[in-house]
């Protein structure tokens, strides 16, 4: 057998579907086998592979074993002359395997090969070719020196940015997203080192391949799309520790000797220095907006109260010190909490959430004001003036912060997309239907034919697309993979990568449309998704429901405590929900095929409690969970709770 393709999957069903379609399309006339190693996914990946790709050899793990262990399981069972380690968030061209295998056959000194990768917006990914990350090389990269001097052979070595990305080169390190290796080389070097759970295993294997006398080749004569999962974001502390932990393992393993101790000290210092900077940056970025809100709302209302006292009562000191020391801080807390729950501190910033937050906070303040004794009735007019000021100043703060250019402070307006769908008429209509059912805002959808001869329903053909994008100001292009080759899709993305367009791919016979840079951003994955629980708004609403219901239950304890057989257990659950260890309504099925939805905490009550006929049927439970996650409504939580609470002892 010529080739063994190995794909390790973990909860990226839609991307795996697209990847496998491209892989099997590229394997025509090649004697090959395809392994899918699933690391205990709960999103339906296993069922999808069994149903749509019966030729794939599926290995099901009952836990997440990590990248190295999972790959090694398949390598040991493989029988190909070559082994390809391939990420599930990739799309390969139809000629990718033919070209890369031909090069390896013609160059027996080549032990492993990687290729040119682009992201979901058509931009070249520098990790396609990398240098050996010695401590100094990693230092230059982590602290931004590599970015400042990309053409320097000293400072630009991490991504070898001084090498032409369109020419074949010998490099030090390949990316594990696409790593074609001779099987006999693996027999010499050994398999992936399982001490690396995430990061470093591709560096380690590339280094061992070179040490065994073989070359590591960067081959840009074919290109793949790599959507780049960001489950561990590079700005996060987790990334910093994982990255340096991998470096520490690598150094200890390969760079032992008189200088090893010094290198280890250097690495530990780098870990704590970089982690401290990352933590400080995160704290500052997360707190700067609420701190500015608190400071300027307080100062503004303080000034308003003084001026109103002078104007209306002819007394600059009309409002007592208790108002400024007690009442005003309480108002501030209520406004800030209301802004928080309305999404005013989400990123990117939605200005609409400011209106919701200020209005809801003001209503709560006015209700509490009416319930308080008259001794605490300072002035409704100050509350109303304060609400107006709170909206104005929070709006101004966000506008000013947006000018910093930092992504954290970017403003998000509801943009209605102008979309091109490229494919046959039937596929274009199918994709348009998915967009409409996904509730994606758009004000223009047009079709482009992959053929030169176009019918009147098409705006033009694919050869005219660059001009169509320019004239009609298109900002999103969706390719129907059933009608267009992966090679043509990638060529089009490269051609239009500077046009500020988003690109997406609609796999054949799939109810999803996949694209953009990240495999973990819900907005980049269009599915039949009316009001997904995955949205920040609904996650926040669900948490709000949990807190409010817990408070109500505590207040009503004298009423229900006498009728429930186990009131202590209910009180324990109330406290667990308040601190975030549980949610009132959780999933029903033991293994739920959740579609584009987040994991939930364990539910005090499960969704199936509202449907007694489903309690002994795991399949029905799973369907109920999917429906719940795809179309979340707070009222559904309340209905399920009422039924469950009433029928539970």
| Mean pLDDT in residue range 217-227 | 93
516 pLDDT band (50/70/90 cuts)?
Answer: low
* Torsional sign, CA 223, 226, 227, 232: negative
Find, among 339, 344, 395, 345, the residue nearest to 364 by Cα: 339
CA 649/CA 641 separation, integer angstroms: 13
| Mean pLDDT in residue range 45-65 | 90
> Omega into 571 within 30° of 0, i.e. cis?
no
303 pLDDT band (50/70/90 cuts)?
Answer: very high
Q: What pLDDT, on a 0 to 100 scale, did the predictor assign at position 523?
A: 39
**Residue 253 scores a pLDDT above 90:** no
Tokens describing residue 622? 């799973």
Q: Which of 110-114, 468-472, 488-492, 626-630 has the highest mean pLDDT?
A: 110-114
Q: How far is CA 387 from CA 135, 308, 396, 551, in A?
A: 54, 15, 14, 26
Q: What pLDDT, on a 0 to 100 scale, did the predictor assign at position 250?
A: 65
Those residues whose C-beta lies under 8 Å from the C-beta of residue 77, and which sit 6 or more positions away, are 35, 57, 59
| Mean pLDDT in residue range 454-464 | 84
The residue count of the chain comes to 649
**Residue 590 scores a pLDDT above 80:** no
245 pLDDT band (50/70/90 cuts)?
Answer: low
DSSP H helices, 313-351, are 321-322, 328-342
Q: What pLDDT, on a 0 to 100 scale, did the predictor assign at position 633?
A: 81
Q: What pLDDT, on a 0 to 100 scale, did the predictor assign at position 529?
A: 47
Choice between 153 and 133, residue whose per-residue pLDDT is larger: 153
CATH number attached to the domain at 3-129+165-231: 3.90.550.10
Q: What pLDDT, on a 0 to 100 scale, did the predictor assign at position 517?
A: 47
Torsion angle of C-alpha atoms 399, 403, 407, 413, degrees rounded to 10 = 40
Whether the CB-CB separation of 304 and 382 falls below 8 Å is answered with yes
Q: What pLDDT, on a 0 to 100 scale, did the predictor assign at position 637?
A: 86
**Residue 246 scores a pLDDT above 70:** no
Neighbours of 222 (CB within 10 A): 21
| Mean pLDDT in residue range 454-470 | 86
**Residue 1 scores a pLDDT above 60:** yes
What residues pair up with 606 in beta bridges, in sequence order? 586
Whether the CB-CB separation of 70 and 61 falls below 8 Å is answered with yes
CA 276/CA 341 separation, integer angstroms: 29
Q: Give 378-409 pLDDT, tens digit per residue.
A: 788 999 999 999 999 999 999 998 888 777 78
Neighbours of 284 (CB within 10 A): 11
475 pLDDT band (50/70/90 cuts)?
Answer: confident
Q: Give 170-220 pLDDT, tens digit per residue.
A: 998 888 899 999 999 999 988 887 776 556 688 888 889 998 999 999 999
CATH number attached to the domain at 417-527: 3.40.50
Q: What pLDDT, on a 0 to 100 scale, did the predictor assign at position 254?
A: 63
Choice between 592 and 244, residue whose per-residue pLDDT is larger: 244
Q: Where are the domains of the chain?
A: 3-129+165-231, 232-411, 417-527, 536-647
Choice between 157 and 230, residue whose per-residue pLDDT is larger: 157
Q: What pLDDT, on a 0 to 100 scale, did the predictor assign at position 522?
A: 37
Average pLDDT taken over every residue of the chain: 83
CA 531/CA 526 separation, integer angstroms: 12
* Fold agreement (3-129+165-231, 417-527): no
Choice between 562 and 361, residue whose per-residue pLDDT is larger: 361
520 pLDDT band (50/70/90 cuts)?
Answer: very low
| Mean pLDDT in residue range 93-120 | 94
CA 129/CA 115 separation, integer angstroms: 8
451 pLDDT band (50/70/90 cuts)?
Answer: confident
Choice between 470 and 627, residue whose per-residue pLDDT is larger: 470
CA 338/CA 353 separation, integer angstroms: 10
Residue the block writes with tokens 């061209």: 93
DSSP character string of 500-565: --EEEEE-TT-SEEEESS-TT-GGGEEES-SB-TTSHHHHHHHHHHHHHHHHHHHHTHHHHTTT-S
CA 270/CA 246 separation, integer angstroms: 13
Q: Give 491-511 pLDDT, tens digit per residue.
A: 888 888 877 788 888 888 777
The DSSP secondary-structure symbol of 73 reads H
| Mean pLDDT in residue range 73-90 | 94
565 pLDDT band (50/70/90 cuts)?
Answer: confident
| Mean pLDDT in residue range 235-259 | 59
Q: What pLDDT, on a 0 to 100 scale, did the predictor assign at position 230?
A: 39
């Amino acid at each position: 057998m010529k080739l063994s393709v190995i794909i390790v999957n973990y909860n990226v069903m839609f991307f795996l579907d697209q990847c496998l379609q491209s892989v099997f399309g590229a394997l025509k006339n090649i004697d090959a086998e395809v392994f899918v190693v699933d690391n205990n996914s709960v999103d339906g990946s296993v069922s999808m592979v069994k149903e749509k790709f019966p030729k794939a050899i599926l290995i099901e793990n009952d836990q997440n074993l990590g990248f190295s262990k999972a790959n090694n399981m398949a390598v040991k069972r493989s029988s190909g002359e070559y082994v390809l380690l391939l990420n599930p968030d990739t799309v390969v061209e139809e000629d990718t395997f033919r070209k890369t295998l031909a090069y390896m056959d013609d160059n027996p000194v080549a032990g492993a090969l990687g290729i040119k990768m682009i992201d979901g917006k058509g931009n070249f990914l520098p990790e396609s070719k990398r240098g050996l990350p010695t401590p100094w090389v990693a230092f230059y990269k982590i602290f931004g020196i590599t970015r400042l001097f990309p053409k320097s052979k000293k400072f630009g070595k991490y991504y070898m940015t001084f090498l032409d990305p369109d020419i074949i080169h010998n490099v030090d390190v390949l990316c594990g997203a696409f790593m074609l290796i001779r099987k006999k080389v693996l027999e010499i070097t050994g398999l992936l080192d399982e001490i690396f759970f995430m990061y470093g295993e591709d560096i380690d294997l590339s280094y061992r391949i070179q040490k065994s006398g073989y070359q590591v080749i960067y081959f840009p004569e074919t290109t793949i799309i790599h959507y780049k999962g960001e489950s561990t974001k590079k700005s996060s502390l987790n990334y910093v520790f994982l990255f340096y932990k991998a470096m520490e393992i690598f150094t200890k393993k390969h760079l032992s000797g008189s200088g090893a101790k010094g290198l280890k000290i250097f690495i530990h210092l780098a870990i704590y220095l970089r982690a401290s900077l990352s933590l400080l940056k995160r704290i500052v970025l997360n707190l700067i907006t609420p701190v500015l809100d608190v400071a300027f709302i307080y100062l503004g209302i303080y000034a308003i109260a003084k001026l109103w006292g002078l104007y209306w009562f002819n007394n600059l000191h009309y409002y007592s010190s208790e108002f400024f020391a007690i009442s005003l801080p309480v108002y501030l807390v209520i406004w800030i909490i209301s802004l928080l729950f309305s999404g005013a501190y989400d990123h990117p910033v939605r200005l609409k959430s400011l209106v919701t937050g200020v209005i809801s906070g003001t209503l709560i303040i006015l209700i509490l004001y009416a319930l308080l004794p008259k001794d605490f009735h300072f002035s409704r007019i100050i509350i109303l003036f304060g609400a107006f000021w709170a909206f104005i100043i929070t709006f101004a703060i966000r506008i000013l912060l947006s000018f910093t250019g930092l992504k954290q402070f970017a403003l998000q307006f509801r943009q209605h997309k102008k979309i091109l769908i490229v494919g046959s008429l039937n596929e274009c209509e199918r994709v348009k239907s998915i967009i409409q059912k996904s509730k994606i805002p758009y004000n223009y959808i047009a079709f482009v034919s992959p053929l030169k001869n176009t019918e009147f329903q098409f705006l033009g053909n694919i050869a005219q697309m660059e001009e169509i994008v320019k004239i009609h100001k298109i900002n999103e292009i969706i390719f129907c993979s059933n009608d267009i080759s992966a090679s043509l899709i990638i060529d089009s993305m490269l051609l239009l990568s500077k046009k500020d367009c988003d690109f997406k791919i609609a796999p054949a016979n799939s109810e999803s449309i996949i694209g953009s840079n990240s495999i973990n951003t819900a907005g980049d994955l269009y599915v039949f998704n009316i009001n997904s629980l995955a949205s920040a708004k609904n996650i926040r609403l669900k948490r709000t429901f949990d807190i409010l219901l817990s408070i109500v239950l505590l207040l009503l304890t004298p009423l229900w405590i006498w009728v429930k057989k186990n009131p202590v257990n209910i009180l324990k659950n109330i406290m667990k929900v308040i601190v975030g260890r549980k949610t009132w309504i959780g999933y029903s099925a033991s293994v739920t095929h959740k579609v584009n939805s987040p994991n939930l905490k364990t539910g005090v009550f499960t969704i199936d409690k509202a449907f007694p006929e489903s309690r002994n049927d795991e399949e029905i439970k799973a369907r109920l969970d999917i429906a719940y996650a795809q179309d979340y409504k707070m009222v559904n939580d309340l209905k399920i709770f009422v039924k469950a609470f009433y029928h539970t002892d």
